[in-house]
Structure 1
Amino acid sequence: MNQHWLQPPEWSWNHLSKEEPTHVHHWVQQLNEIEKYPDLILYGAPISRSSISVSGASLYPGEFRRMWKGFATYNLDEDIDLAPLQVADAGDVVMHTTDILLSHQRIQETSAYLVKHYPNTLTCMIGGDHSTTACAVRGIKEVVPQESIGILQLDTHLDVRDPEELGPANGTPIRQLIDGSTIQGKDVINIGLHGYYNAKPLIDYAKKHSIQMVTLKQARKQGLICTIQESLQHLSAKVDRIYVTVDMDVLDISNAPGVPASTPGGMTAIELFDILLEIGQHPDVRHIDFVCLDPSKDSAVAETVKTGVYAWMQFMTGCMLKTRKTST
């Protein structure tokens, strides 16, 4: 827990202005430049060798940062400026060139390090493929072994495929955590499942371990915001902290061409944005990740990367709204 594998980000922006920042690239500071504890720490986990399908998701942390220049800190819809929040970029976890298990261990150790040294700070991991989630949650559990962790998963897939067959791949993180007793299946809620993308043996595993499966059809019928609110309330009553994992393949393929496993029938970008605004406001959400976005599959206008940054900004707006509520 005293070890981390963080290196400066591949891409970062200079802080040229001493005025109040107006854009994200001047707002986010390097972690070593902030004297007090930040409100949120970002870190990248640039690995995609553990992806079942061919993926360049390891490129996303860098492209995520490059896109910051196109985003202001002011959210017109909510009439709120995010600039007062302290957001720190801790850089990226150094990946081994060929050793996937060693890379995963480094993500776990780095996650543990950040949670130990910044216990009251939100953490946000930018993947990387979905295998990184299991590493991060195990790292958190190392630091707070007495606490229970709930998972709110936004995903088209259950991600409970057998690591004995596939290794610790991106289709296995939830099963890794359940089989390893890091979390309990009953403390996992997956919202976004739909269609023909989860084989029956995976559904059987989920039912056996009491994973709460909320199909996108069910969530839309009830109302996505209401579904999210009830899910967060349910987890909050049972666990000590909530980890949110956003697999960008939850988006419809027309909204996310830069996601290797995106499918027809998924969420719209607006639906995801509304959900994340709600999630950011909940006090028990302590950790979040965004995974499985491959910039190399985007078009020249980088629509999926832009959607990914917008999604993160919506979560940050939720965090700012939460700050407002607690200060009044």
Structure 2
Amino acid sequence: MTATPYRILGALGSPYSLKMRAVMRYRRLPHVWIQLDPDNDFERTRVKAPVIPVIQYPDGGYHNDSTPMIYDLERRHAERPVVPADAGDAFLSFLLEDMADEWGTKFMFHYRWFAERDQKQMSEWLAYDRFRGGEARIRQFAAAFRERQVGRMAIVGCTPENAPVIEHTLRRLAAILERHVLTEPYFFGTCPSLAEFAWYGQLSQLIVDPTPNDLMREIAPFTVRWLMQMDDASGVEGEWRPGTPAAVVDDLLAFAGDIYLPFLAANARAVAAGEPDFALDLPGGRWSQGSFKYQAKCLEALRQAWAALPSETQGSLGPLLDRTGCLPFLAGDEA
């Protein structure tokens, strides 16, 4: 453990910021939380893509992108890892984390910027976080930020036409998690993995924003409380489970096989063909959006991780991934 703390430059309204803060808290890594404001915002320019959170390491260097940072911290600190020790579970946790980061963010973005009620409150709250005073400045910034974010909804697929899919898949995910948390708190044992922290990050926003907060407390009240506990798991003492992961992993993989991986594959095909947009049928309705190169890279990273697994690990995971519809997409031979 180093005496010099990590500095997390983030925001309460950023799911990836809260994901990384929760990881650091669980791992008991010395850190300070710094709310981004006009005085420190320049530090975002120290990374290639100025998106948050930005973390300054004890050596003075700046980093961002939550998944690479989590794996980098695993290499730097042996205590209380969040990547499961078993190679198969490590791969599954990576897949579930990726799904949270790339599909779960659609829940957050849709509910935050779709309805007038949420647009108004959250733009003003996020502006207050930034300035912490000065009503005129807060309201001016909130109005501009709201307009910007609403204008970006189509980029991430959060359109009125796609709303039925987003809302249907949230209800399915909430039901999966609600069954799980009433039995046991974690996916791969008695301690959390990077997958739980990724889902915590995205869903942490849904229990703050007004409309999804009402919904989540109605359909998944124990999941809401679980999310609150995930915010600081520094007191959790546990271990990885030998053998079969929790039943929730099977359910989440079925979610991936039905929704997330078909979405990634359709996007990747569009990117490869140079097509500006794509569409496919998903549970809840028809989905269409612009193609996105980053998410094509996500699918390629998952396929590379699968291909890199030892043959015996692939053999043990194969039936599970086949049963849940994930295997063809990971092997690159989906129809």
Instruction: Give the TM-score normalised by structure 1.
Output: 0.31
Q: Which has the higher helix share?
A: 2
Rg larger in 1 or in 2?
A: 2
